[in-house]
Chains A and B, each alone.
Chain A
Amino acid sequence: MFCAVSTMTDGDYDYLIKLLALGDSGVGKTTFLYRYTDNKFNPKFITTVGIDFREKRVVYTATNSNGTTGKTFKVHLQLWDTAGQERFRSLTTAFFRDAMGFLLMFDLTSQQSFLNVRNWMSQLQANAYCENPDIVLVGNKADLADQREVQEKQAKELADKYGIPYFETSAATGSEVDKAVITLLDLVMKRMEQCVDKPAQDAPNGDGASKLEAPPSNEKKEMKIWAPSVLTANNDKEVNVTSSQWTTE
């Protein structure tokens, strides 16, 4: 369904989509994005100074409602990386509005980072471009199985409550990293389609040509990696968590 392509110097793309990674300090946002864009892993912990971003060009193939592949787009991804540290918070939250989709990350080896997810959710509601933006919940460091503190079931339940997809990733091994980002991109693209007013559908016109011939098949056939489930509606009322309980650092 997607595949990464090289060249990203020119303006030869169809959409500029901006995603943002957020979550507690040290959950691996930077290494996650580094793995995604460069397919490399840097085990050193270098705290992000406030804000940063990476870019990547991908090919997006829309899926039609009946599951068949549709149009292909070149998408230029701008991936915002935010500092998890408290002291940068007012800075990082200011950038929430600059993104169309969010990778809400926590550390599978840190219960606290998982507990803070709900607080990040409310931060998003307050500071993103709208109250229910597209979010993917990401539990990172899945490779450190022996240190795991957050069970998959727990996280899945939380994600379901918010109506968002959940992935357990490992920036170290690269497992599920692409999938998480691509899923988010798909949500954003789906929302985009919904938001564009389609011209009123006229009755099929008298031109029989379209029936005689099959639709053009010049789109790239790509392996289907992930088919999004129904995830777009996340108007869960329970999301409104009061911020007072959020105590960190």
Chain B
Amino acid sequence: MMLGATVDKKLDLSRLTDEEAKHVWDVIQRDFDLRKKEDDRLGELKTKIEKEDTKRELLGAETNLTDSHCIRCLHPFKFLVNSKRQCLDCRLYACKACSRYNKKERGWVCDSCRMARMLKIGTLEWYHQNVRARFKRFGSAKVMRSLCKRLNGMHGSQPDLRLSRDDDTHSMPDVHGAYDGHDEDHIDTSDGQRYRLMRKTKRLLSVHPLDFDLDNEYATHSRRQSLQYPGSLEGMTRRRSMMAEADVASVFHRILEEQAGHDRQYNTDVHLHVHRRKSLDRSARSDEGQFGEHRMTRARSLSKIVAPNGPQRHYYHDMDSSEEEEGPRMPLYQLPPRRRSRASSQENVQQAPPQINDLNKRMSAIESLLNRLEQKMTIPPEQPACLSEAELEEKTLRRKLDELTGNISDKGLSSEEEDGKKAPVPREAPVPRETPARTAASRHPLAAGPPAQPPALSSSSDEPPFEASKVYATAGKPYCSLEKKQRAPSEASRSHYSGTTDSELSELEDKVALAAAKVHNTESEVSDMENRLAALSAAGMSVEKSKRRASGIYQRRKASNDIPLRQADLFMRNSLYRGSLTQRSPVAKDKNKATSAKPVLAQGL
């Protein structure tokens, strides 16, 4: 007898044999892999769009330029030879190669707007909306949950499942090792290593803390959360409760809590799935968040520009070897053309003559740097504009800091520990080093942990951006002195937009890279200072004043570089930063929740 439409929606897997359950489990694993891949793919597309948006934001304001040059390849328009087309979406002008004719709408859409359209469709938001409206969770998740229950009910069969999973190619041996039973211990040690490494390499920090790859960042977050709660089990539970905001995650959360007592091995397995599951379910929002933060970080564009050049490359190479570890995630500019054409929308770019392509690449690299420099120039007036003043202040601050740290270094350490290990955490956050565990995780898609964990999920997860903001805001002072120098190359490069030659471009790039190197030096010094400041504040010293100033600057800068599309999102994030400065503001936490509860994709795109 088969039940019909009114079939009870409860999933009864009790009649499955262990082997059958294992098979189903494996299939679901494969499905999760595919979902993860899809997540990554869409993330890539988003990055591309972000990049393009940045360019537009800068160039869009200059009407004379956009009227005479293609917004995308910056090729000058010429009558009949290279005529211009206005994009239906952005109303900017693009050349034939950089846009496509849309027959239905009887107009041209430039490639970047086409990418944006594709993303909107590509996420299949219409479908997911429907699923969300009808069901609590998607099918695989539902079955996974049910399987967990079933296994929870009969402990005898668990080793069975785990054993069989070990020879399964879709499982994640590294993670088994890493998380098996004592994952908190593991985390603690790796943290220590990381921290030590960080201390050593702090001065060499050349990459913006926000610039390292997503997985890394989120791995950091989750680890940090766990650190806040001494006692491994408690930590895990608390961590889980933070994730519980997502509807599906909450289900897993419950399961996990049910299991927490008796079945730790299995528990950790499922735990991973919670991460992944969550990332899938909320990919839209989290992606939004991630890329919002990743947009136009200074170091990214610097490293992009510097890398292809000989001598400068070594300079940066020394400073940031982690860039290499991220092999496949190398900046877009360096990718071979085939890889860059992830989306079919790039087809046209490929069809353009290689020279133009190359120029285009260089151009956009320079542009993003220009953008950077512009931001620096628009630093609020309250910022001391003259070099000597800034230097003086820095020196005095530094002296004070030295004294203070000398006096209370011991005390500071102990109080850090009393604070539930909160204090050391921000210090480590800015360094994009991969822990061994992290490296392993990145190579195993399954082990990737919480790749798309929304940054706003927990109260602690907004600390790295905050920390970063402080560092950069303070670093802004010395920048002022560099700005004048940098202005020269930047203006030069702008005047060359129309007919730049290869050699001119590379000259410019060299100049820019030099300037960047200087900026970097100052930056790392200041970040060192900031770290000390953080230590001090953890020790109870009041550094509120400087913090507050820093935050103001950061917010303004952030606001100036954000594209209108993201204003709403930006607003939310800024309020988060504001909240996180004091760390105790309950309002900030509320907003926090509000952000993560909002389907950002729908709102942003």
Contacts and interface: CB of A to CB of B under 8 A. Distances in A.
Interface residues of A, number: 69
A108 to B, nearest CB: 22
A219 to B, nearest CB: 9
Nearest to B34: A78
A73 B118 CA distance: 10
Contacts of B38: 11, 16
B88 A202 contact: yes
Interface string A70-101: 11111000100000001101110111111010
A216 B94 CA distance: 14
Contact of B7 (A90, A98, A218, A241): A90
A228 interface: no
A126 B348 contact: no
Contact of B126 (A14, A192, A218): A192
Nearest to A191: B126
Nearest to B16: A50
Interface stretch (B138-146, B155-163, B265-273): B138-146
B2 A89 contact: yes
B164 to A, nearest CB: 14
B11 A129 contact: no
Interface in A110-130: 119, 122-123, 125-127, 129-130
Interface in A44-79: 49-53, 55, 64-66, 68, 70-74, 78
A43 interface: no
Contacts of B20: 49-50
Interface string B80-119: 1001111011000100100011011111100000000110
A11 B86 contact: no
A16 B41 CA distance: 10
B102 to A, nearest CB: 9
Given A16-B34, A91-B13, A205-B107, A248 B2 contact: yes
A51 B27 contact: yes
B347 interface: yes
Nearest to A209: B83
B7 A209 contact: no
B143 A11 contact: no
A215 B37 contact: no
A217 to B, nearest CB: 10
A212 interface: yes
Contacts of A70: 103
B131 interface: yes
Nearest to B120: A196
Interface string A198-218: 110110110101101101101
Contacts of B344: 14, 71-74
Interface string B31-50: 10010011011001000000
A218 B347 contact: yes
Contacts of A15: 121-122, 124
B105 A218 contact: no
B584 interface: no
B351 A98 contact: no
Nearest to A96: B139
Contacts of A53: 27, 30-31
Given A55-B34, A100-B124, A213 B5 contact: no
A207 B95 CA distance: 12
Nearest to B132: A129
A249 interface: yes
Interface in B354-392: none
B564 to A, nearest CB: 16
A210 B41 contact: no
B7 A246 contact: no
Contacts of B140: 95, 98
B169 interface: no
A207 B93 CA distance: 10
B7 A89 contact: yes
A91 B5 contact: no
A49 B390 CA distance: 71
A130 B2 contact: no
Contact of A243 (B4, B85, B96, B142): B4
Contacts of A95: 139-140, 143
A100 B127 contact: yes
A193 B126 CA distance: 10
Interface in A149-187: none
Contacts of B27: 50-53
B107 A204 contact: yes
Given A15-B124, A192-B124, A94 B11 contact: yes
Contacts of A248: 2
A11 B37 contact: yes
Contacts of A65: 104
A229 interface: no
B6 interface: yes
Given A55-B34, A74-B344, A95-B143, A11 B41 contact: yes
B15 interface: yes
A244 interface: yes
A89 B15 CA distance: 11
Contact of B101 (A55, A198, A210): A210
Contacts of B86: 205, 207
A204 to B, nearest CB: 6
A195 interface: yes
A243 B11 contact: no
B105 A201 contact: yes
B134 interface: yes
Given A97-B135, A196-B121, A243 B5 contact: yes
A189 to B, nearest CB: 9
Given A49-B24, A53-B31, A216-B100, A14 B351 contact: no
Contacts of A86: 2
Given A90-B7, A215-B103, 16 more contacts: A14-B343, A16-B38, A50-B27, A51-B24, A78-B34, A86-B2, A87-B15, A90-B13, A94-B139, A126-B5, A192-B127, A204-B106, A207-B86, A209-B83, A241-B4, A244-B4
27 contacts: A11-B44, A13-B41, A16-B34, A49-B23, A49-B24, A50-B23, A66-B103, A78-B31, A86-B2, A91-B24, A94-B143, A95-B139, A97-B138, A98-B139, A119-B2, A123-B5, A123-B7, A126-B6, A129-B131, A130-B134, A192-B121, A192-B126, A196-B120, A205-B86, A209-B84, A215-B101, A242-B5
9 tightest A-B CB contacts, nearest first: A243-B4, A195-B126, A215-B101, A11-B41, A209-B83, A95-B139, A98-B139, A126-B5, A122-B5
